[in-house]
Homo-oligomer: A and B are copies of this chain.
């Protein structure tokens, strides 16, 4: 049963990696992708360190436990597995899959918004692409955290930020990129695409000369 769930999740992650790479959101082999395939005990299928995310194969996906240790040995999971685990542990069923991208606009906007600690997206119809949002009047508050190479400590900060924002669909790391999640891989893709598109709108808006 775990094997069948994992095989189905792997197909969706491979397809998501292909689509996100085609958008230019996973440059230079960056980014990583994961899906929960068991909750008790926690089992997460996550892309391995160094894989080409645009051309993932089954061998590039590693099954890890709740501490990020490979269950069956084999390839080394992504260094950022701790951040994926922080998201899926904090958000429960709302985060059955986590996708992480390094797009140009996420990189730039995360830096501009970092002093505020959040990027607020409000008044856009496209926000309705986020699960549970039913009106463009919604204000999506995307937390923005300072980046770090200490992933254990950063994972704790991610968990704290998300615990304080139980309705969030994504999180930005400064000059680093976007984490987005959803109940399943395709929902996470939809959330990621809505957020990335609105980052581009907001970024282009900020390039308008002041009046």
Contact = CB atoms under 8 A, between A and B. Distances in A.
Interface in A130-187: 134-137, 147, 149, 173, 175-177
Contact of A149 (B135, B197, B210): B135
A124 B149 contact: no
A191 interface: yes
Nearest to A203: B204
B108 A27 contact: no
A1 interface: no
| Number of copies of this kind of chain in the complex | 4
Say what secondary structure dominates the interface of chain A.
helix
A175 B136 contact: yes
Contacts of A175: 123-125, 136
B129 A27 contact: yes
Interface string A194-209: 1011001101111111
Interface string A28-60: 111000000000000000000000000000000
Interface residues of A, number: 45
Contacts of A206: 208
Contact of A173 (B125, B201, B209): B125
A176 B177 CA distance: 25
A107 B205 CA distance: 10
Contacts of A176: 124-126, 136
Interface in A86-103: 102
A193 interface: yes
A190 interface: yes
Given A30-B125, A111-B205, A124-B176, 20 more contacts: A27-B126, A27-B129, A28-B190, A28-B191, A28-B193, A29-B129, A30-B128, A102-B126, A102-B197, A124-B175, A125-B173, A125-B176, A125-B177, A126-B176, A135-B149, A136-B175, A136-B176, A204-B207, A207-B207, A208-B209
